[in-house]
Structure 1
Amino acid sequence: MKVKTSPECPKCGHRMKRFPPGRKDEYHVHCAECDYDFGRFDYFQAQFRHAIEELEEQLQRRDTADDDRG
């Protein structure tokens, strides 16, 4: 499976990743263009979880600020 995501590949700048089928926590995510190894899937997933939590927190603060004004 290929998915277009960030971060960009540090080697070639490509954003498409290859998620090969495999057992949970036993396979690596690779760049679809140059085969750069981003590391284990669980580590890669944790990076995105952190980014999503930060974004949700920012959106919550913005919604709270909008409610206070309205």
Structure 2
Amino acid sequence: MFEQRINCPNCGTPIPFDVHILLQGKGFTCSGCNASIKLSRESKDTVASSMEEFDKIKKNSFKTAP
């Protein structure tokens, strides 16, 4: 379901997440210790901009040759 994972800062358990859901202000919970991760307001614009650039790169990289 989720392609990305981040290790829990408390216990190290991988937490699956989706960047687009994080950008909507929602958080994810660690299955190991119930810690919650969420994107800070200060980081939202930086992450959104980075994801837009990444999506552009992916689109250009996977174009088929004529």
The interval holding the TM-score normalised by the smaller chain is: 0.3 to 0.5
Between structure 1 and structure 2, the one with the greater Rg is 1
TM-score (norm 2): 0.40
**TM-score relative to the length of structure 1:** 0.39
